Amino acid sequence: MMELYLGYLEDNFYRFKPSPNSMSSASAQFATSRRIGIYEPNRQISMWGDSFKADSSQNTGASTIVEADAKHDNRLGDIPLESPGPSKKYDQEANKPADKVLRRLAQNREAARKSRLRKKAYVQQLESSRLKLSQLEQELEHAKQQGVYVGGHLGDSSLGLSGTVNSGVAAFEMEYGHWVEEQNRQTGELRAALQAHVSDIELRMLVESGMSHYDNLFHIKAIAAKSDVFYLMSGMWKTPAERFFLWIGGFRPSELLKVLSPQLEPLTEQQVVAVCNLQQSSQQAEDALSQGMDKLQQTLAETLTSDPLGASGVATYMGQMANAMGKLEGLVNFVNQADHLRQQTLQQMYKILTTRQAARGLLVLGDYFQRLRALSSLWTARPHEPA
Amino acid sequence: MQQAIPCNGGRTWFAQTAASNGVVHMAVNDRPSVDGPSTSSSSSDAGGGGGGGGMVRLVAENPVLVVGRRGCCMCHVVKRLLLGLGVNPAVFEVAEDAEAALVAELAEIAAAAGGVQQQVLFPAVFIGGRLVGGLDRLMAVHISGDLVPILKEAGALWL
C-alpha cells in the first residue's frame, strides 16, 4: 500500500492520468482532501483509504467524498471546487481544457501548500503560547507558596482601597526585587575583590557602596511603611526562612552582630570591646522597642474592649475606633525606629572596623542572606504530601 | 561634646525620691499652678500650662527628664531604655491641648542651654539640663556609645 501523508495526492497528482471517469472523482477527491487535510488529518487518511477502496466503484467514492465536503466550512471558498458535472465536458475537447484543468489544479496545489504553511504557523503559535501559559502558572504557584502579597490581596476588601494599597506594595516589591539583585551582585564583587587582594582604596569604594545600598533599603522601607505598615510588619516581602527571624519588620541587629563577629577575627582588643558594647547597646535598644510594642498591643486591646452590648452608643464606638486608628498609626513609628536602629548599628560597625574588615563584614552579611534565601527556595520546592 | 551641667547642687536630686517602680513622676505638690487632675496615682498633667518657671525648674533639677504625650508608646520606649540602663528618669506627661505651648517653652529652654539646634518632638529627652532630642536621637547616641557617659556626667548613673 502506498504511504499516505498530508499532501500525498497533490504531490503525486501527475501519476494519476486524467481519464474520463477517474478524473471527476480524482479531482473531486483532490479538492475535498485538501480541505479535509487541513482541518482533520485523521479523517483525511480514512477518507483517502475509503476513496482508494472505492476506486473500482467510483460513484460510491465520489458520494462519500461529497458527503464529507458538506460537513466542512468552506474556508478556502475562493478556490473552485471541481464537481463531477462540468468535468464531463472535458472528455470532448481533450487538449485545451486539459491546460485549464492543469492550471487550476496547480493553483489548488499552491493554495493547499500555503494553507498548510499557515496551519503550521498557527499550531506553532499555539504551542508556544501554551508553553508560556504553563510557565506563568508555575511562577504563580511558586510565588503563592512564597506568599507574594500582591496575589493574596486580590480577594480582599473594597477594590478602591486595595487599588491604592496595592500600588504602594507593588512598587515596593519591585524595588525590593531590584535591591536584592544588586545586593547579590555587590556580594559577588566583594568576594572577588577580597580573593584577589585588591588595594584598600578599591575596597573602600566597595564598602561605601555596600553601606549606601543598605541606606537605600531603609529608604524604600520608610516609603512602604507609610503605604502599608502591616505589609512590612508581616515580612511577606521576605523569603520564608528570613521571615523566621523577623523582628519589627526586619532583621534584629544584635542577631546580625552575632553572625558577623566570629567571622571578623582577628580583632584588636579595643575592637573586641567596642563590638561587645555595640552588641549590648543594640540589645538594650531592641528590648526597649519590643516593650514599647507590647505596650502598644496592650493599649490597643484596651481601647477596643468595652461594653459589647453597645449600651454606650454609637458615638462612643466611633470614638473608640478613632482612638484605635491613632494607635495603629503608631506602628509606622515603630517600624521606622527599628529601621533606624538597624542603620545605626551598621554605621557603628563601620566605624569600629578597618576597611578590609568592613569589606569582609559586608561579604559575610550578603552571603548569609543569600544562604537564607537559598534555603527558602529549597524549602518551598521540597517534595511533600499535599495537604 | 559633654559640657558642665548647670545643676543646683545635690540637694534637689534627693527631693524626688524614687517611686517603687523606679520612675519619678511629677507629684502635684511640686507644681503650684497645676489645674488638671491626676489621671492616675503616679502621673500628673500639665492641664492648663505649667507656668513659665515650672518647666525650667524641671529641666534644671532633674538629671534626666522625659517629656511626652500621655499614653504615648514611644515615650514608653524611652522610659524602658533608660530604666534598662539603670537610670531613674523623671517623666512629665502632657495633655494634647497643652502640647503646643509646651513645645514652645521647651524650645526656648533648649536654645538657652545651647547645643545642637533641633525641633522639639515628643518624646523629648533632657539630660543634664540639655535637650538630647527625640527617640531616634537617643538611640543614635546610645548606639555610638555616648549615652552612658552623658548620663554619668549628669549624675544619673553611678558606676
Q: What is this model's ipTM?
A: 0.71
pLDDT digits (tens, 9 = 90+) for A46-76: 444 454 444 444 444 444 444 444 444 445 4
Given pLDDT bands bounded at 50, 70 and 90, which one contains residue A3?
low
A302 grid coordinates: 484596651
Cα A288 to chain center, whole Å?
Answer: 41
Mean of the pLDDT values across residues A148-170? 54
Find, among A330, A323, A248, A333, the residue nearest to A286 by Cα. Answer: A248
Asked if A287 and B76 come within 8 Å (Cβ–Cβ), the reply is no
CB A301 within 8 A of CB B100: no
pLDDT digits (tens, 9 = 90+) for A216-227: 999 999 999 999
Cα A141 to chain center, whole Å?
Answer: 9
Compute the mean pLDDT over every residue in chain A, rounded to the nearest whole number.
79
Given pLDDT bands bounded at 50, 70 and 90, which one contains residue A154?
very low
Q: What is the model's pLDDT at position B46?
A: 43
Question: Which position has the grid cell 559575610?
Answer: A364
Residue A196 one-letter amino acid: A
Residues of chain B with pLDDT under 50: 6-24, 27-50
Residues of A in contact with B81 (CB under 8 A): 284-285, 287-288
A131 grid coordinates: 508553553
pLDDT digits (tens, 9 = 90+) for A250-267: 999 999 999 999 999 899
Q: What is the model's pLDDT at position A2?
A: 55
Residues of A in contact with B77 (CB under 8 A): 288-289, 291-292, 337
pTM of the model: 0.63
> How many CB contacts within 8 angstroms connect chain A with chain B?
67
Q: Tell me: pLDDT of A145 over 70.
A: no
Given pLDDT bands bounded at 50, 70 and 90, which one contains residue A238?
very high
Alpha-carbon dihedral A227, A229, A234, A236, rounded to 10 degrees: 20
Asked if A292 and B77 come within 8 Å (Cβ–Cβ), the reply is yes
SS3 B29: helix
Q: What is the model's pLDDT at position A342?
A: 97
Residues of A in contact with B147 (CB under 8 A): 281
Find, among A24, A70, A73, A65, the residue nearest to A47 by Cα. Answer: A65
Q: Tell me: pLDDT of A39 over 90.
A: no
